[in-house]
């Protein structure tokens, strides 16, 4: 039996390897937000073998059926990446530029041999205009088997959301390509047509559990090749810390894992120049802890003075595998609805749970535990409508924030 088993293994192995090598079909096609979403759009994909002249074709979607209209061609930037310490794969990325605002485009990626399907995306308006985006917390565990249904419920509820924002820990081990495969499989076609805005969590940093405090921290080598985010953050934190404006809202992505002093100086500069009527911050580590064993006030000390000074409207967070939404706060205390202040939210979108503590109950409007949620956020003129849903699309929390 042992000999027969070895023979079977030898007989099957080359076939499996060959099958993998001949596949040049674009995989993991994903749209990412850019610094100027009214005129540009980033797309990233990978192939298992090198691709001769990898590129994309794009045109306004209604021109797709007109034989006299030819798509514009964008050549890709490509790099090789070793995954799971053994397999070499090929990552490709493009930033479509000189796009028209508020236009639906069709695009496909590939090369002479293999093309993706045609996919659509919509550019942002150049001016403030109503829109909805979705917000997810940690995915991290049973990503394909459990979280697929959250994504499907979210897509059914808000098919026209302009982008999906994740506040980190999309996977448990940022080095494990199989977990990223689960993430993309669970999302299916959605990121081919709706851009992602991703915030790295501590689990996107290899070996984060054993890092010595103060020692340098380095994000997974898979992060930058497989996503293409704005490079307008502090030096060394490009594509990790970044900002972009979307139809009247300034979005700022921060990072609680590395280089806080550099982020503070950068954040102050971004906020002081911000002309948008609304400001939304997203970060992985919460400012106000809702679980017992995690109560660092370092982020409060560092960021809250700036959030207060510049009246950040909303801070979206993850990491604590629980749910909490604060009252409107300033200087670590509740303020009345008529005053300027900041609402902080923590949510969870995967099946890993921590019980909530009551430490900051005096600041909270709503806490929940042991659940999986997604959130829609709609901004329309001076009103922000925030709604949290459970996996069966029932409303579990809602609040309206006014910005005068």
Residues at the site binding Fe ion, with contacts judged by CB under 5 A: 138, 169, 201-202, 319
CB of 123 to Fe ion, least distance (A): 33
| Shorter beta-carbon distance to Fe ion: residue 24 or 281 | 281
> Which residue number is nearest to Fe ion in terms of Cβ?
169
Angle at 33 between CA 165 and CA 258, to 5 degrees: 65
| Shorter beta-carbon distance to Fe ion: residue 319 or 327 | 319
CB of 371 to Fe ion, least distance (A): 15
Strands 41-47, 87-96: pairing is: antiparallel
| Shorter beta-carbon distance to Fe ion: residue 107 or 223 | 223
| Shorter beta-carbon distance to Fe ion: residue 201 or 225 | 201
Is residue 158 a contact partner of residue 378, using CB atoms and an 8 Å limit?
no
Is residue 51 a contact partner of residue 205, using CB atoms and an 8 Å limit?
no
Return all residues near 170 (Cβ < 8 A) that are at least 6 apart. 138, 139, 140, 143, 180, 183, 198, 201, 203, 204
| Shorter beta-carbon distance to Fe ion: residue 41 or 167 | 167
| Shorter beta-carbon distance to Fe ion: residue 161 or 170 | 170
CB of 146 to Fe ion, least distance (A): 14
For residue 69, count other CB atoms closer than 10 A to its CB: 11
| Shorter beta-carbon distance to Fe ion: residue 201 or 230 | 201
Question: What gap in Å lies between CA 218 and CA 240, rounded to an integer?
Answer: 11
Residue 72 to residues 56, 120, 193: CA-CA distances in angstroms? Answer: 8, 15, 18
| Shorter beta-carbon distance to Fe ion: residue 143 or 312 | 143
| Shorter beta-carbon distance to Fe ion: residue 29 or 283 | 283
Question: What gap in Å lies between CA 89 and CA 75, rounded to an integer?
Answer: 18
Tokens (6 digits) for 72: 């514009």
CB of 169 to Fe ion, least distance (A): 3
CB of 173 to Fe ion, least distance (A): 12
CB of 183 to Fe ion, least distance (A): 14
- The full 3-state SS of 166-206, as one line of letters, equals ECCCCCCCCCCHHHHHHHHHHHCCHHHHCCEEECCCHHHCC
The β-bridge partners of 96 are 41
Question: What gap in Å lies between CA 248 and CA 88, rounded to an integer?
Answer: 42
CB of 286 to Fe ion, least distance (A): 10
Burial 184-204 (b: 16+ CB within 10 A, else e): bebbeebbbebbbbbbbbbbb
CB of 330 to Fe ion, least distance (A): 27
For residue 357, count other CB atoms closer than 10 A to its CB: 19
CB of 186 to Fe ion, least distance (A): 16
């Amino acid at each position: 039996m042992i000999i027969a088993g070895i023979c079977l293994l030898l007989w099957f192995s080359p076939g499996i390897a060959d099958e993998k090598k001949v596949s040049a079909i674009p995989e993991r096609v994903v749209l990412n937000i850019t610094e100027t979403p009214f005129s540009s759009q980033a797309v990233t994909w990978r192939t298992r073998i090198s691709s001769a002249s990898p590129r994309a074709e794009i045109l306004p979607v209604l021109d797709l059926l007109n034989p006299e209209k030819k798509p514009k061609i964008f050549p890709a930037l490509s790099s090789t990446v070793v995954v799971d310490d053994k397999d070499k794969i090929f990552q490709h990325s493009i930033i479509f530029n000189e796009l028209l605002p508020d236009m639906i485009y069709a695009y496909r990626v590939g090369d002479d041999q293999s093309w993706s399907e045609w996919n659509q995306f919509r550019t942002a308006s150049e001016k403030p205009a109503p829109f909805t985006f979705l917000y997810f917390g940690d995915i991290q565990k049973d990503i394909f088997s459990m979280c697929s249904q959250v994504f499907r419920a979210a897509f059914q509820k808000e098919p026209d959301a302009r982008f999906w924002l994740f506040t980190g820990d999309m996977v448990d081990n940022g080095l494990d390509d199989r977990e990223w495969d689960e993430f993309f499989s669970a999302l299916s076609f959605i990121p081919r047509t709706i851009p992602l805005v991703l915030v790295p969590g501590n689990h996107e940093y290899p070996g984060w559990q054993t890092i010595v405090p103060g020692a340098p921290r380095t994000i997974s080598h898979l992060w930058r090749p497989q996503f293409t985010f704005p490079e307008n953050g502090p030096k060394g934190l490009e594509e990790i810390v970044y900002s972009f404006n979307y139809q009247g809202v300034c979005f700022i992505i921060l990072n609680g894992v590395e280089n806080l002093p550099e982020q503070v100086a950068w954040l102050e500069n971004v906020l002081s120049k911000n002309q948008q009527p609304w400001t939304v911050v997203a970060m992985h580590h919460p400012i106000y802890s809702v679980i017992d064993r995690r109560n660092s006030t370092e982020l409060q000390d560092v960021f809250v003075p700036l959030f207060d000074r510049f009246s950040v409207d909303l801070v979206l967070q993850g990491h604590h595998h629980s749910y909490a939404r604060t009252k409107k706060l300033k200087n670590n205390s509740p303020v009345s609805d008529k005053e300027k202040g900041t609402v902080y939210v923590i949510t969870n979108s995967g099946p890993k749970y921590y019980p909530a503590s009551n430490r900051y109950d005096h600041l909270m409007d709503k806490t929940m535990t042991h659940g999986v949620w997604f959130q829609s956020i709609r901004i329309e003129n001076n009103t922000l409508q925030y709604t949290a849903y459970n996996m069966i699309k029932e409303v579990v929390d809602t609040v309206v924030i006014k910005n005068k």
